[in-house]
Amino acid sequence: MEQNWRHLPPPARPIAAAATDAVGAAQHRDGDALADAVARMAALDPAHTGLILGVTVRLLLEDTQPDGIDAEGVRAVLERSVRGASEWQTEVDPHVILLLLAGALGVADEDDETPPPKLDELARHAALLLADLLGPRPVPPFLTAALAEIERAQLND
């Protein structure tokens, strides 16, 4: 069954659709479908996409680590995500996963002079990280919660 995102604001619809497809492909270890969905995600507004995916990652971290996450918890998520992606022979860069985790947790190093990864790399690694954090659960409820949280934050600003 295809997820209907018509209830979302127009800028969020293609992001939610592409992210759902990318995470589903990663969960099913379908490299071709992952590449197609990542290409769609990478072509979208990087600020909106990054915000939506980052909040979704944070919500999943909060869900899987209800007592809070410390450095050891981040390391465990990083290792599990990298190992899981490597098991199905997809290329994974632990540094990119770490950047995504740091960004989602709000501890990214803004002064880092290292050039950021390309958008398609960020999108692919975000899908792999989300798939790992979700396990067999579907992503739409968490994307919906992330979008609701973003909307609340924007209304309160």
In this predicted model, what pLDDT tens digit does every residue of 50-78 receive, in sequence order?
999 999 999 999 999 888 889 899 999 99
Residues with Cβ < 8 Å from 46, sequence gap 6 or more?
Answer: 119, 122
Question: Mean pLDDT across the chain, nearest whole number?
Answer: 90
Check residues 114 and 97 and name the one with the higher pLDDT: 97
The token pair that represents 150 in the structure block: 């973003």
pLDDT value at position 98? 93
In the chain, the amino acid numbered 116 is P
pLDDT (0 to 100) of residue 140: 93
Give the model's pLDDT for residue 116.
83
**pLDDT for residue 1 is more than 70:** no
* CA–CA distance, 103 with 114 (Å, rounded to integer): 15
Rounded to whole angstroms, how far apart are CA atoms 67 and 119? 32
Q: Is the pLDDT of residue 110 over 80?
A: no
Helix, strand, coil tally for the chain in percent (to 5):
70, 0, 30
